Amino acid sequence: MEWIRRETIGHGSFSTVSLATTSGSSTRFPALMAVKSSGVVCSAALRNERDVLDDLGECSEIVRCFGEGKTVENGEEIYNLFLEYASGGNLGARIKKSGEALPEYDVRRFTRSIVKGLCHIHANGFSHCDVKLENILVFGDGDAKISDFGLAKRRGEFGEEIRVNIRGTPLYMAPESVNHGEFESPADIWALGCSVVEMSSGKTAWCLEEGITNVMSLMVRIGSGEEVPRIPVGLSEEGKDFVRKCFVKNPAERWTAQMLLDHPFLAVDGDETSSTSTSSGSLRYGEEDEASVSPRDPFDFPDWNSVQSPVNDSVTVGSPVYYSPFSFLVRSPEERISGLVTENAPDWSVSCDWVNVR
């Protein structure tokens, strides 16, 4: 296939995404596509994405892949993945740009698409491992699809790369991922809950909690006690209940995508536009929500009084830090905290204001 690389439309930790045009004479490739590219030497995530998308097959809530190809550009061998082009960009950027919550009608609609996509992914034995609004693409007709399968993995798979690296984005990380390095389908559901909070408040989950100033304090909050992200008070009762089903701390008791598909929040209602009391697009976090049992800071747990060792306060969100999943397996809180952060082996990449861990 002959194609031409056009302007850049996105950057990720692994790749650059550009528009690509073809002559339009091919039946396999459309005239306009997105091409996700990286140097061949560091194309493992892109190849994983291709393999997973191949295995998943057709699903109208998952971004479609047309194929792959290699090019040589400026003397470098480049691996390219051809994807259907989402003219509306990603949902995270949309919300960040407006700084506003989405009308609840849209939250329901987008959530329904994400849940349908997750049902397909999980039913096929995969977990996505990086569900977040930056990875939900919006199309011209308003449809939303799940993208970015670079970190996706088969159920139970625990390869060498996964063994040594936490995957995903800390803000969306589930308690079992923080505590035990588990990245199975329930972790995608927790991240879905974070995404619904973000769509319906205009703010990322956890962002208004006191005492979360860096990745380490975030991890402690996610992994300890009963606290869950605050649920926007303006969300309808159905929406609040939906989010609570995603924020069940025990992954075995968390609702599955299949169960959530039947939740009233996602019911297709002919009169949906008027079904929300909150369709003004201005949902806000409340001062308090009964679903959130919030210690005042990460050390406000009865068994944390003995923490004496200095925590590295200089590590802020976005700083390069190395995070080992196994540091959470040691018993002493003091060891857990001090083992969490070292500046010796950075393996982080920045995504927005937060940090992606690979």
Q: Which residues are catalytic?
A: 130
170 scored as a contact of ligand ATP (CB under 6 A): no
Q: Nearest approach, Cβ of 278 to ligand ATP (angstroms)?
A: 27
What residue type is assigned to position 352 of the chain? C
DSSP 222-285: HHSSS--PPPPTTS-HHHHHHHHHHT-SSTTTSPPHHHHHTSGGG---TTGGGS-TTTTS----
The two structure tokens encoding residue 215? 């990745």
Q: At residue 264, what are phi and psi to the nearest 5 degrees? A: -55, -30
Of 140 and 302, which CB lies nearer to ligand ATP in the complex structure?
140
The two structure tokens encoding residue 13? 């930790």
168 scored as a contact of ligand ATP (CB under 6 A): no
Of 66-74, 106-114, 132-140, 251-259, the segment contacting ligand ATP by CB under 6 A is 132-140
Would you give the distance in Å from CA 280 to the centre of its chain? Answer: 26
Q: Are 205 and 197 in contact (CB under 8 A)?
A: yes
The two structure tokens encoding residue 65? 């892949």
Each residue 86-105 as x (binds ligand ATP by CB under 6 A) or -, in order, gives x--xx---------------
Sheet holding 32-39, edge to edge: 3-11, 16-22, 32-39, 76-83, 65-73
Q: Nearest approach, Cβ of 14 to ligand ATP (angstroms)?
A: 4
What distances in angstroms separate CA 257 from CA 62, 105, 150, 201, 263, one per listed residue? 15, 20, 21, 22, 10
Each residue 137-156 as x (binds ligand ATP by CB under 6 A) or -, in order, gives x---------xx-x------
| Helix locations, 183-288, DSSP H | 185-201, 215-223, 237-246, 257-261
Q: Report the interhelical angle of 237-246 vs 104-123 (nearest 10°).
A: 30
**DSSP classification of residue 184:** S
Of 108 and 132, which CB lies nearer to ligand ATP in the complex structure?
132
Task: Select from 61, 134, 209, 289 the one that contacts ligand ATP (CB under 6 A).
Answer: 134
The H-or-E segment that residue 3 falls in is strand 3-11
14 scored as a contact of ligand ATP (CB under 6 A): yes
97 is in an annotated binding site: no
18 scored as a contact of ligand ATP (CB under 6 A): no
204 scored as a contact of ligand ATP (CB under 6 A): no
Of 150 and 298, which CB lies nearer to ligand ATP in the complex structure?
150
21 scored as a contact of ligand ATP (CB under 6 A): no
85 scored as a contact of ligand ATP (CB under 6 A): yes
Each residue 307-346 as x (binds ligand ATP by CB under 6 A) or -, in order, gives ----------------------------------------
Q: Which of 110, 129, 123 is nearest to 189 (CA)?
A: 129
117 scored as a contact of ligand ATP (CB under 6 A): no
Evaluated on CA atoms 44, 49, 52, 53, the torsion sign reads negative
83 scored as a contact of ligand ATP (CB under 6 A): yes
351 scored as a contact of ligand ATP (CB under 6 A): yes
Task: Select from 1, 5, 6, 13 the one that contacts ligand ATP (CB under 6 A).
Answer: 13
Task: Select from 127, 135, 177, 214 the one that contacts ligand ATP (CB under 6 A).
Answer: 135
Contact residues toward ligand ATP (CB under 6 A) are 9-15, 17, 34, 36, 63, 83-86, 89-90, 134-135, 137, 147-148, 150, 351, 356
